[in-house]
Amino acid sequence: MRTRTNERGFALIYMTIMLATLLLFSGLAIDSGRAYVVKAQLTKAVDGAALGAARALNSGDPRREAVQIFKANFPDGFYGVSTAADPTSSPSFFSSSVDATTGVNTVKVTASVVMPTTFMKLGNFNDVTVTSTGEATRRMVDLSLVIDQSSSIGWQWPIVVQAVQTFIDSFDGAHDRMSLITFGNTATVRDPMPAARGFDKTALKSHLPAGPSGSTNMVEGIYRGWDELRSVPAGTQSGLRIIVLFTDGASNGVPANWDGSAVAKSLRTYDFPKNFPDPDNQTWNNPVLGGLFNTNTGTQNPAPSLTVDITNVTDYKTKTILANPGVWPALPTLPDNSWHTQHRSPGIPTAFPMQTGALKVNGVAQSSLTRRGLIINPATTKPYASIWNVNNAARNVLEIIANEARNDNGDYKIRIYTIGMGELVRYNLGTMPEKPEDILKRISNDKTSPDYNPDQLTGMYFFAPTAADVGPAFQGIQNQILRLSK
């Protein structure tokens, strides 16, 4: 009897130990499951916060964005936990650092929470600390902002300025770089591209001109935009190198060595033929050949002016060009190349041919007479310096420079975005004739262009029917850049 009693006692002890052990392991399993759920939600919260902060680097307060997203995804008291440190003030919650070589900004969000245990208390484990880190990267941007300030923009200029200023604000003033170039009769670098990271948003916004003036020397504008990107020292350029060009018309000026002086000057034409309704009266059946505009100062000297009536002309390439080429007597011949004396980046080309067979216009060589080929004076074997040749060259050289910019051999390739505002960009103009927006698609290497080059970076063209649509067009470009920066 004593033996059996002792056996019952041992059995009770063993059973008690086994039950306690089972409860402890059961508690461990239950609490581990709770910890897994907490960890999963915490990871989701910090990942979302890191991505949101990376997107908000441009807005200037990425930490606040991270806190808001974290709290939305991991509310206070989730599964009974408490935060180990308040993300609003904890220095370990948010960090952002830039690799100066690669131009990549890395955002890290780290959060810890304390989860009280249930059954694990039996093993003297009263709580568990759960920690998770989220990381997101954003490539920094070097951006040349090239803005048309020609007089044709007229009363819409203040609305355009507001849209440009909002676009400037959308970038990271501490780590991105931005230059501002405007063009009319010439091109002006109002804010050079900084060598170090960061740019002065307030300065750029305040340096936009008070009003529009001049013609559309887009050739010099895009050249100076490219030059500013190239001015950033090799090895420190950002992962995204971008030119953004805004215009309301077509390129109509050619910078060259027209008069043998030491400074490049631009000869330009009016847009032709007349289109309707043309409410701003910017197209002509009696276009003018005018200039010469110093590409540094914009001053006009000398001031050739020649008007040609094309009202009844149906074939510019034969009837008018050869019978009455519209040449100002002092400038009978088109130079072989454009000429650019205003630049600051080492090694940038300073001359480009007035036409090339290497680029195509709607699938046919640019140099073809059915496109924008130049009419040769048989007596001199040189192209006439005529309204039609100057107009063609202004478009040819623009596309040639854009192509060279996209082929730039810097740390990273260059991408171009363009905005065309108003109905003028959809009028058939020039000797083909052709729509300016087709040229803008070509220089941005938009996929919708018939001359899209898959071997170069793809840009995009945005059409803004009115000034009120310019802001959304800039926002569209910002969205594209943000997508690429991830």
Tens digit of pLDDT for each residue in 117-166? Answer: 876 666 677 788 889 999 988 889 999 999 999 999 999 999 999 999 99
> In which element (H, E) is residue 460 found?
strand 460-464
pLDDT of residue 52: 83
Look up residue 279 and give its two tokens. 């409410």
**Averaged pLDDT, 393-414:** 97
Number of helical (H) and strand (E) elements in the chain, helices listed first: 9, 18
pLDDT of residue 328: 73
Q: From CA 397, how far away is CA 388, in angstroms rounded?
A: 14
Helix (H, G, I), strand (E, B) or coil at 420: strand
Helix (H, G, I), strand (E, B) or coil at 177: strand
Query: For the residues of 281-298, what is the DSSP string, one character each?
Result: ----SS-EEEEEEETTT-
Q: What is the pLDDT of residues 222-250, one digit of tens each?
A: 999 999 999 999 999 999 999 999 999 99
| Residue 297 Cα distances to 157, 220, 421, angstroms | 22, 13, 27
Residue 304: band (very low, low, confident or very high) from pLDDT cuts 50, 70, 90: confident
Extract the runs of DSSP E, i.e. beta strands, from 295-389: 305-307, 360-361, 364-365, 376-377, 382-383
Look up residue 4 and give its two tokens. 């059996």
**pLDDT greater than 60 at residue 9:** no
**Averaged pLDDT, 163-179:** 94
Question: In the chain, what percentage of residues exceed pLDDT 90?
Answer: 59
CB neighbourhood size of 104 (10 A):
17
Look up residue 370 and give its two tokens. 């059915």
Q: From CA 288, how far away is CA 388, in angstroms rounded?
A: 11
Q: Can you say whether residue 170 is alpha, beta or left, with left for phi > 0 and alpha for psi between -120 and 50 degrees? A: alpha
Q: From CA 477, how far away is CA 24, in angstroms rounded?
A: 59
Look up residue 70 and give its two tokens. 């974290």
pLDDT of residue 150: 96
- The pTM (predicted TM-score) of the whole model is 0.82
pLDDT of residue 215: 94
pLDDT: which is higher, 131 or 11? 131
Q: Is the peptide bond before 192 cis (omega within 30 degrees of 0)?
A: no
pLDDT: which is higher, 81 or 476? 476
Q: From CA 100, how far away is CA 421, in angstroms rounded?
A: 37
pLDDT of residue 205: 98
Q: From CA 204, how far away is CA 191, in angstroms rounded?
A: 6
> In which element (H, E) is residue 397 found?
helix 387-406
**pLDDT greater than 90 at residue 343:** yes
Q: What is the pLDDT of residues 309-330, one digit of tens each?
A: 777 666 655 555 555 567 777 7
Q: What is the mean pLDDT of the chain?
A: 88
Look up residue 114 and give its two tokens. 């304390």
> How wide is the angle at C-alpha 378 spanned by C-alphas 372 and 384, nearest 5°?
45
**pLDDT greater than 60 at residue 402:** yes
**pLDDT greater than 90 at residue 416:** yes
The candidate with the shortest Cα–Cα distance to 287, out of 204, 167, 391, 144, is 391
pLDDT of residue 59: 58
Q: From CA 148, how far away is CA 217, in angstroms rounded?
A: 9
**pLDDT greater than 60 at residue 5:** no
Phi then psi for residue 220, to 5 deg, are -70, -30
**Averaged pLDDT, 23-45:** 75
Q: What is the pLDDT of residues 432-470, one digit of tens each?
A: 899 999 999 999 999 999 999 999 999 999 999 999 999
Helix (H, G, I), strand (E, B) or coil at 166: helix
Residue type, 250: A
Give Dmax (Cα) for the chain: 137
pLDDT of residue 420: 98
Q: What is the pLDDT of residues 53-87, one digit of tens each?
A: 887 776 568 888 899 999 899 888 887 888 767 78
> Do residues 130 and 113 make contact, with C-beta atoms less than 8 angstroms apart?
yes
pLDDT of residue 92: 87
Q: From CA 370, how far away is CA 389, in angstroms rounded?
A: 13
pLDDT: which is higher, 353 or 81? 353
The candidate with the shortest Cα–Cα distance to 231, out of 189, 171, 168, 184, is 189
